[in-house]
Amino acid sequence: MTRRMTSLLTALPVTAALIAPPALACTSMLVSKGATADGATFITYSADSHELYGELYYTPARRHGPNAMRDIHDWDTGKFLGRIPEAPVTYTVVGNMNEHQLSIGESTFTGRKELEAPTGIIDYGSLIYIALERSKTAREAIQVMTRLVAEHGYASTGESFSIADPKEVWLLEMIGKGAGQKGAVWVARKLPEGYISAHANQARIRQFPLNDPDTLYSPDVISFAREKGWFKGADKDFSFADTYHPLDFEGQRFAEGRVWSIFRRAAPSLKLGVEYADGSSPSKRLPLWVKPDRKLSVQDAMALMRDHFQGTPLDMSKDIGAGPYAAPYRWRPLTWEVDGKKYVNERAISTQQTGFSFVAQMRDWMPSHVGGVLWFGVDDTALTVYTPMYAGIRQAPKNFAQGVGSRGKFSWDSAFWVFNWVSNQTYARWSDISVDVQKEQDALEGQFVADQADIEKTALEQYKRNPEEARQYLTQYSMQQGEKVHTRWRKLGENLLVKYIDGNVRDEQGKVNHPKYPDAWYRHIARDTGKRLEMPAEPEKKPAPAATPAPAAKPEQKPTVAPPP
């Protein structure tokens, strides 16, 4: 997963980059031009870590002198790794998209233990942002990244990278050569038009064509495996994933399961069963890419990144762990043991530990400053609001900008902390509060999408007159939307606190109600507590005895009047 930017990019102290090592983190989807409703290319990315603070990185374009050097710090530890020569010219980078609409995401697959701790000074996080600063196209980014690790050595474990420009979408997989060895072995494949792919902490490229302009690989990717004794067949049968990161139970259940959920929703006609995801059959392998049943919109891509395995056998909202309000989340650890048996929690795409995520939309029929949109969100993908950040903007919105807060310091000015506050209210009463949150989410994102054509029409008119005028206009627009989202979300959190305070629920008229738990939850409580909470049965009431009827009244007699004497 992507780490916080170090001082080489943000001028923040190196200590700000320190975060815990990843654990089955990050999910990325790739969508080719022919698979999108508007003819754009998409990649998506969720940067998942329990220690990651979500903010929008921004690095302006620069010119460097002939002797300028760049410090490289490891993104996992902040450790200084070394220095490399700077490029004469670097490009503006907004989050994970640069001013040429090049976008890059990733997920860590680690790979064989024997290949850990290679000799080198370029870690995978640095690869992403150096490539964004130095490349205009996806192919160029692959050249930059692979040349860097060949020249300066690789300092990370296995990685899958999503790399896309407005015309092409590529998947690059790379792993180091182990202790004492420099460089990396790698393979990259371009998505065919009309197809989508995804990766989530598991190497996915298996066999690949050896003579194809849309497939690139290191010269020793096969021979290195032969030297290690990991492969003995014909070159055409070589599988990168099976060799360098064999699939096991955890790889299928926790990693490929997320890919399966994207594929089964985008292409239901393929009828990909849960056996591709539940770990019961590691020999069942998903295809590298699939053709979606219909072309995807930006909002479709957002929806796929909000997946909780809903409606499948892995749906976490259906068992007792979901609590009374059907929460599709489980707190970590991911695996656990009780009474001598080992168990798992599911690892869905949408998860509580996301720092930031995005949907990158790249369009080749517009100037790059207008055509590239990084739909950016902080915190949990299911509960975030994807806000448009254009490739040409000159600064980040203040509430999303670097340095406003940190993982260890709360700030009401920080969009990350405001969204996290709302999310944690929602987790406690998911089935009720998520409805309120999603209503606000839909309203904001729906308005952004509805306004997009008009905003870009104005920007294009300005671009014809003066490109810088368009960039300033889009900067102001993106900043305004960022501020609006932050303000609306803080107000939402305040309203939720009032509405659901102390387990009550206020209706639209402000009246306090006390809705009971679902009957299924009451049954769980009854079974677990036995007689302890059971009220004694009320004594049976015997019918009251019939009343004895009063004797009938005698007819009233007139007093006898004695006759006069």
Residues 6+ apart with CB under 8 A from 564: none
The answer to whether the beta carbons of residues 481 and 400 sit under 8 Å apart is: no
Alpha helices in 305-429 (DSSP H): 368-371, 415-428
Q: What is the mean pLDDT of residues 414-441?
A: 98
Give the single-character DSSP code of 318: G
Domain boundary among 457, 482, 500: 500
Tokens of 544: 């009251």
* pLDDT of 229 higher than 90: yes
Q: How far apart are CA 489 and CA 383, in angstroms?
A: 10
Residue 483 lies in a domain: yes
Residue 534 lies in a domain: no
Say whether both 393 and 431 belong to one domain.
no
Opening angle at CA 318, ends 317 and 321, nearest 5 = 70
pLDDT in tens, 29-75: 999 999 999 999 999 999 999 989 999 999 999 999 999 999 999 87
Tokens of 68: 């300028």
Q: How far apart are CA 306 and CA 319, in angstroms?
A: 20
Q: What is the mean pLDDT of residues 12-37?
A: 67
Q: What is the mean pLDDT of residues 316-345?
A: 96
Alpha helices in 60-101 (DSSP H): none
Q: What pLDDT, on a 0 to 100 scale, did the predictor assign at position 557?
A: 53
Q: How far apart are CA 484 and CA 418, in angstroms?
A: 13
Residue 564 lies in a domain: no
The band of 18, judged by pLDDT with boundaries at 50, 70 and 90, is very low
Domain total for the chain?
2
pLDDT in tens, 254-264: 999 999 999 99
Q: How far apart are CA 213 and CA 228, in angstroms?
A: 28
* pLDDT of 131 higher than 70: yes
pLDDT in tens, 119-128: 999 999 999 9
Q: How far apart are CA 173 and CA 241, in angstroms?
A: 9
Domain boundary among 414, 441, 474: 414
Residue 211 lies in a domain: yes
Say whether both 327 and 437 belong to one domain.
no
Provide φ and ψ at 437, rounded to 5°: -65, -45
* pLDDT of 9 higher than 60: no
Say whether both 64 and 85 belong to one domain.
yes
Full-model pTM: 0.92
Q: What pLDDT, on a 0 to 100 scale, did the predictor assign at position 565?
A: 41
Say whether both 372 and 458 belong to one domain.
no
Pairing of strands 505-506, 62-63: unpaired
Tokens of 441: 């989410």
Residue 305 lies in a domain: yes
Say whether both 382 and 439 belong to one domain.
no
* CA distance between the termini of the chain: 131
* pLDDT of 248 higher than 80: yes
Q: What is the mean pLDDT of residues 408-417?
A: 97
pLDDT in tens, 350-401: 999 999 999 999 999 999 999 999 999 999 999 999 999 999 999 999 999 9
* pLDDT of 548 higher than 70: no
The answer to whether the beta carbons of residues 196 and 304 sit under 8 Å apart is: no
Say whether both 234 and 363 belong to one domain.
yes
Q: What pLDDT, on a 0 to 100 scale, did the predictor assign at position 552?
A: 60
Say whether both 361 and 480 belong to one domain.
no
Task: State the residue range of the domain holding 481.
Answer: 427-500
Say whether both 144 and 292 belong to one domain.
yes
